[in-house]
Amino acid sequence: MSNERRPGLVVLQGNRLEQLAAVVAQWLHRDPLPPLVHEVFLVQSHGMAEWLKMALAHDGGICAAARMELPARFVWRAMRAVLGRDAVPAASPLDKAALTWRLVRLLPALHGAIWEPLHTAWVSAAQSAAESAADVAGAPLRRLRLAQRLADLYDQYQVYRADWLDDWAAGRDRLTHPVVGPRAAREVPADQLWQPALWRELLQELEGPLQQAVRPALHQRFIQALQRRRDPPWPQLPQRVVLFGTPHLPHQTMHALLALSAHIQVLLAVPNPCRYHWADTLDGRELLAQATRRQPLRGGFDLAQLPLQAMHAHGHPLLAAWGRQARDFVRQLDAFDDAEQTRARFPLARIDLFDDDQDTHDVAQPTLLVQVQRHIRDLTPLAEHPHPPVPAEDRSIVFHLAHSPVRELEILHDQLLALLARPPGDKPLRPRDIVVMVPSIDDFAPAIRAVFGQYGRHDPRHIPFDIADLSARASSPLMGAVEWLLRIRHDRCRLSDLG
């Protein structure tokens, strides 16, 4: 296989991660990179990275020379490779940590009517921290907390709404739509005009060269550099990048990957729950009316012609309730993706990897979960749902009520033991095949260790487990202890803290 591979963008969509992983593995096996060259995978979480490595190892017997990265970190590294290390520092001068302290210094110097909402929030927070008029020790702490909240806000803007920041830096106080652009722009509300003004103050505080080292400005220069240069790519760039299992991606990151695809191979494996065009089942569809559509219409019927009040008769309610984030990402992909060009340029049998009924093993008696998955996949409205009786032994969807997280996990442990002893469908089930998702893993981690870690390795009730995506605070007791000592002067101690 030649070391030179055809650059381009390949977008795979499917409703099952297993199928997406299998096609990615086949692609890598058919077109391997040179020895000692790493494959670069972009994932959104540590848990997804571990799952993908196990899936690749299952297909190939081993998963080696695979580097898992967060998309934002990879894009910053690519910027340094293209624009040079002198132009792109190791970290942005307006990253969240540095931005927090800049705001702490800047907040007291802001005066005028435009800053009144911000000033009111700071003064009221500082007064609530002080126990008396003479005790103002809490005021700096409250200023720090306000600065942290503002830093988090502007950090999110830099990731998701760099177009807003570009406009604000140029003095245009407006909010543009990420897909439609300035055509759907609206003015910043009067009580929020301090946000663009504060961004301009932050930029003015930076020295000349550093003003061009913030993420929105670097993004524009990065895209322009990639569009100008047509000869072989920069040697520091990887030969191939695989984005896997990401249900959403900032428009700025997607734009960067598209620009990179002119020089390297970019493969996107994107989960999509429905094989048909379903974006028009949600509000906000008028902003996407002119966008291209990759997926076909169900039955040739254009849902955009229906009022949203009648959508329950033509779409699936779960997509409307839970699908907004996936809808926006899939429609964003449609603007970048050319399915016909992909089929012509790359030897792929399928790029839409939606399973058929014959792909499942329980066609004769589909479980309740399989029925729901099929109805979402086929955009079947409720009126067309068949309602066969659910067998008593069908426990594919079960709801439990529990009075505490510990009790939830005790029920989960018992249910998993039963599933491992008698797998559904008489198919083998191993602990590595089980993924448990919770709203906040940091809150559940102590209870998980207490419930699942109480049995020894040789106990028949032992279930091996690992906790992914923990924050540094939750995974390091020492860091938690240091943080507690730092705030002990201002916060009250609970009995559980001393136990």
- Mean pLDDT in consecutive groups of 10 residues from the start of the chain, 499 residues: 71 91 91 92 91 88 92 95 91 92 91 85 55 49 87 94 92 82 82 95 88 89 88 84 92 92 93 81 47 55 51 65 75 75 70 71 73 87 77 88 95 95 84 90 92 94 91 75 76 68
Can you spell out the DSSP letters for 343-379?
HHHS--S-SEE---GGGSS-SSS--HHHHHHHHHHTT
* Number of residues that this document lists for the chain: 499
Can you spell out the DSSP letters for 97-146?
HHHHHHHHHHGGG--SGGGHHHHHHHHHHHHHH-SSSS--THHHHHHHHH
Question: Range(s) for CATH 1.10.10.160 in the chain?
Answer: 96-205
Query: What residues are paired with 265 via a beta bridge?
Result: 8, 240
Q: What pLDDT score was predicted for residue 52?
A: 94
Can you spell out the DSSP letters for 244-255?
ES-S---HHHHH
pTM of the model: 0.80
CATH topology of domain 8-83+220-273+323-353: Rossmann fold (3.40.50)
Question: Range(s) for CATH 3.40.50.10930 in the chain?
Answer: 8-83+220-273+323-353
Q: What pLDDT score was predicted for residue 286?
A: 42
Amino acid identity of 436?
V
Q: How many whole angstroms separate alpha carbon 201 and alpha carbon 110?
A: 9
Rounded alpha-carbon distances, angstroms, from residue 495 to 184, 354, 443: 54, 53, 18
- Residue 190's CB is within 10 A of a number of other CB atoms, namely 9
> Is residue 341 within 8 Å of residue 293, measured between CB atoms?
no
Q: How many whole angstroms separate alpha carbon 157 and alpha carbon 216?
A: 9
Q: Which residues contact 18 (CB under 8 A, 6 or more apart)?
A: 55
Q: What pLDDT score was predicted for residue 210?
A: 85
CATH topology of domain 96-205: Arc Repressor Mutant, subunit A (1.10.10)
∠ CA 20-23-25, rounded to 5°: 110
Q: What pLDDT score was predicted for residue 124?
A: 59
Q: What pLDDT score was predicted for residue 322?
A: 76
Q: What pLDDT score was predicted for residue 315?
A: 66
Q: What pLDDT score was predicted for residue 165?
A: 94
- Residue 92's CB is within 10 A of a number of other CB atoms, namely 21
Q: What pLDDT score was predicted for residue 173?
A: 93
3-class secondary-structure state, position 177: strand
